[in-house]
Amino acid sequence: MKSILAAIGLSSLIMGGLVQAAELSGRLDWSQRLPMGLMVSGVVTQVPAKIGQRVKTGDLLLALDQRGFQAEVDKADAQVEYTEALWEEAKREEARAMELYDRTVLSEHERTQTHIALKQALATYQAARSNQIQARLRQQYRVLEAPFDGVVVKLDAVVGQSVVNTQQSQTLLVLADDDPMHFTGYVDLGTAKAIQRAAPVAVLIEGERFNVVNVQFSPEPAKQSAKGPLYRLAAAFHQPDDFILQAGQPASLVW
């Protein structure tokens, strides 16, 4: 048994024949790490984000030159206004044609032509509305905002840089979520079950103790040891604002 525990970095403190505590060595990791890019091409004009900076949800991280996107929106808005006027006039022509048809002044062919003209005007207006929506979406996509509170861990963009996204989105920034932070380690199935039954479970970092709020294990083996499969453990815990932690930092899980 001692050799199995040693293989995964696990130790037990035994006093009077009773297990007082068990410890697993591991490292810290972000709860999520999100590579971010833009869906449109353009020239970078704003990069307020800095590596290591903590950001809040909705904070501006990066933006492209807005002039070309605004021009597209203005053009689309004007096209919608124009085609809407044509559609309204086509509806009035349809109403007049129906009145004349009912009075037998207008032929069936002429009434049908008026109805087709109305459908064409409506189709043109709807196409213009679709282009307007697309133009406004492209204008929104030129801006990169933080989708959650986190820390900027990588930045590959500078003002003046050309961003060309034709086949796939280019990663410009990586945002990490560090609340909750994760302790990660590898355990055998027996140890995993022991941790699930234990209470409380905590993470030790530089002498400080942090209570674990959630423990998860990979459903499939993540590694193979000489004694059998090992499963990845992720234990989530909250860190105080004045205690700065880094991914990869060594830590211990105790239960």
pLDDT value at residue 1 = 36
pLDDT value at residue 239 = 85
CATH level 3 topology of 32-65+142-177: OB fold (Dihydrolipoamide Acetyltransferase, E2P) (2.40.50)
Residue 123 CA from chain centroid, whole number: 36
pLDDT value at residue 12 = 43
In which residue are the tokens 């869906």 written?
39
Q: What is the mean pLDDT of residues 128-156?
A: 97
Q: What is the CATH number assigned to the segment(s) 68-140?
A: 1.10.287
* 47 vs 34: CA distance, rounded Å: 18
Spell out the residues 6+ positions from residue 254 whose beta carbon is closer than 8 angstroms to its own.
21, 22, 23, 24, 201, 202, 203, 204, 209
pLDDT value at residue 192 = 92
Neighbours of 180 (CB within 10 A): 18
Mean predicted lDDT score pLDDT of the chain: 90
pLDDT value at residue 240 = 82
CATH level 3 topology of 2-31+178-254: Elongation Factor Tu (Ef-tu); domain 3 (2.40.30)
Q: pLDDT, tens digit, for every residue of 15-59?
A: 333 344 699 999 999 999 999 999 999 999 999 999 999 999 999
pLDDT band for 250, please (50, 70, 90 cuts): very high
Domain segments of the chain as ranges: 2-31+178-254, 32-65+142-177, 68-140
Of residues 13 and 225, more confidently modeled: 225
pLDDT band for 11, please (50, 70, 90 cuts): very low
Q: pLDDT, tens digit, for every residue of 54-98?
A: 999 999 999 999 999 999 999 999 999 999 999 999 999 999 999
Residue 68: C-alpha distances to residues 44, 73, 136, 182 (Å): 12, 9, 12, 43
pLDDT value at residue 21 = 60
Is pLDDT at 159 greater than 80 in this prediction?
yes
Q: What string of DSSP letters covers 175-216?
A: EEE-SSEEEEEEE-HHHHHHHHH-SS-EEEETTEEEEEEEEE
19-23, 111-115, 229-233: lowest mean pLDDT where? 19-23
Percent of the chain with pLDDT over 70: 92
pLDDT value at residue 3 = 36
* 200 vs 197: CA distance, rounded Å: 9
